[in-house]
A and B are shown apart, each in its own frame.
Chain A
């Protein structure tokens, strides 16, 4: 009985950790899925925006001495502009080019930004100095039996929920959100209805990048690690989450992120910790093979 209790509390603890991680993945995944929805392109550089978010906040806090909670909105705004710039420089000129060209450009931008960060900030792992963070982050919010949850975890979950709610409002309650949904259905008809397609695409990049930057800050806090290659793994995992939920579908990205975060934590805890990163790749490959439309996505039809 004792043993069973111990096991179930480990299980619940893992569930809490998995949900925290999954929330962050969902934040990144939304960026992939929204961009894919409007221009049908895997924006490989999205993971790098996430990494830049973590680094920009770090620089603001350490070099410029901006308080942490002021650095967050500043970083988000800068990264949103950065997303627009990315689209403008790299993707917009290739809207009518073959798919292959846009994909290669996306990979190229990703590599470029990653190594730019390496040149600017160096390769060593950094972390937000504890002095600038609220002390409460590292204290336990509550302890039930063996299960603990820090304020930081609660902060991450709360931010995730709030951001997702705002995103939901933007997509379903605003004019630009309606335009985004229209474009994802039919670009040409949307343009004929008077929607400025390019402007809406820019807006989509801005929103996605803002969410990605927030996720970067949160992961930097959670793992205490900011480094130039952080966007590489997280980006692919978030993409896996987006695929799992059904690419192009925002609720799908949230669901996929949650499922993948839990799967990763449980897989690492119970199966094989050295294959922690492999779990999300394997999930992604299996989903793509057997159910490419994802859990709640619409089936992919090839347009002629």
Chain B
């Protein structure tokens, strides 16, 4: 119970942050308010996505380069269901998540038996194939013409139009994902994941069914990616194969590496720091150089791994389990040497 008591001020802090976020649309910021809200909605969407991706490299220590494939699957599931069948947004999100999870299981079950490098490259190939299929199967996805005119989601019969409504919606989605992820982290599953990350063989010897837990992680991660895609499709109302290219996976990976692999708070702060930076670059850089912004993400990835593999934010590390850190110091995970 001692730890629970000490949790109280932190919970107050979190509630304060949430209250601040919910008040944001009503602050007198003048004309730039809607622009700011759109950036914040994007940042929150990326928080959701990053929390989903974090499960695989952060909790399990496996590099997943194909996350954007599930994001794209979710977005196209949502877009097509809205356009053709006019299904409600509240049914679409679980369906998109389910579709993501199904593909996650189909891809994960055979590939998660492989070593980490092979897994990384297979997930990469998967996301490339997803984009190729979206681009070429015109009868289903309209290919490079994209899917325009996706209907907005509606709450109790009221279709969302305002920027603040979408901002509240994504905050709601974030809270759900956050609840799922934090509960998972503290559960038996979460502890099994950490044990896999620290030492697969030791975990296996302690009775952790590697494949089962890894596939679960991959499926949950894919489901969150799918749900994020569903929100994106209904928010942006237009989707295109180019939105789901490999670079998105890198961007999301960069967010979690920046904030600290495996740290939930760090992941969210990483998104909050880097996504507005991207928007800033969009304003500052000339059009033809904007695609060069990934240069910065590349540098971030390299420098973070070299200098601060635990993430840039020092106080985030405090919140991690002390025992885990002690264990890490004692047993450096070498390369089989």
Contact = CB atoms under 8 A, between A and B. Distances in A.
Interface in A83-112: 90, 93-105, 107-112
B257 interface: yes
A134 interface: no
Interface in B185-206: 201
Contact of A107 (B110, B128, B129, B250): B250
Interface string B28-72: 000000000000000000000000000001000111010000000
Contact of A285 (B126, B253, B295): B126
A236 B261 CA distance: 26
Interface in B106-148: 110-111, 114-118, 120-122, 124-126, 128-129, 132, 135-136
Nearest to B299: A112
B257 A104 contact: yes
B305 A119 contact: no
B238 interface: no
Contacts of A115: 291-295, 298
Count class of interface residues, chain B: 35 or more
Interface stretch (B5-13, B264-272, B327-335): B327-335
A108 B295 contact: no
B128 A104 contact: no
B301 A104 contact: yes
Contacts of B136: 272, 274-275
Contacts of A282: 125, 129
Interface in A27-50: 40-42
Given A40-B335, A111-B294, A103 B120 contact: yes
A288 B116 CA distance: 12
Interface in A105-142: 105, 107-116, 118-119, 122-123
Label chain B's interface by main secondary structure: helix
B309 interface: yes
Nearest to B306: A93
A88 to B, nearest CB: 12
A113 to B, nearest CB: 8
Contacts of B117: 40-42, 99, 103
B61 A108 contact: no
A115 B300 CA distance: 13
Given A41-B117, A277-B132, A303 B302 contact: no
Nearest to B118: A288
B120 to A, nearest CB: 6
A94 B302 CA distance: 10
B297 interface: yes
B292 A108 contact: no
A108 B303 CA distance: 9
B288 interface: yes
Contacts of B61: 98, 100
Label chain A's interface by main secondary structure: helix
B196 to A, nearest CB: 12
B289 A119 contact: yes
A97, A116, A277 interface centre (most CB from chain B within 10 Å): A97
A88 B300 CA distance: 18
Interface in B71-117: 110-111, 114-117
A99 B335 contact: yes
A288 B332 contact: no
B299 A42 contact: no
A289 B291 contact: no
Count class of interface residues, chain A: 35 or more
Contact of B298 (A41, A109, A281, A302): A109
A114 B57 CA distance: 24
A239 interface: yes
B336 interface: yes
Interface string B138-170: 000000000000000000000000000000000
Contacts of A281: 125, 128-129, 132
Contacts of A114: 294, 298
B62, B294, B298 interface centre (most CB from chain A within 10 Å): B298
A144 interface: no
A275 B137 CA distance: 11
A96, A110, A112, A275 interface centre (most CB from chain B within 10 Å): A112
A98 B261 CA distance: 13
A110 B298 contact: yes
B54 to A, nearest CB: 13
Contacts of B247: 111
A38 B271 CA distance: 36
Given A107-B65, A111-B250, A119-B292, A275 B132 contact: yes
A187 interface: yes
B116 A100 contact: yes
A107 B126 CA distance: 17
Given A107-B253, A275-B136, A292 B114 contact: yes
A188 interface: yes
A113 B110 CA distance: 33
6 nearest A-B residue pairs (beta carbon): A108-B301, A112-B298, A111-B298, A303-B336, A115-B295, A281-B125
7 contacts: A97-B305, A104-B257, A108-B305, A115-B294, A123-B291, A274-B136, A281-B129
Given A99-B116, A99-B117, 15 more contacts: A97-B305, A99-B333, A100-B61, A100-B116, A104-B301, A108-B301, A111-B297, A115-B292, A115-B298, A277-B128, A288-B111, A288-B114, A289-B110, A292-B118, A304-B201
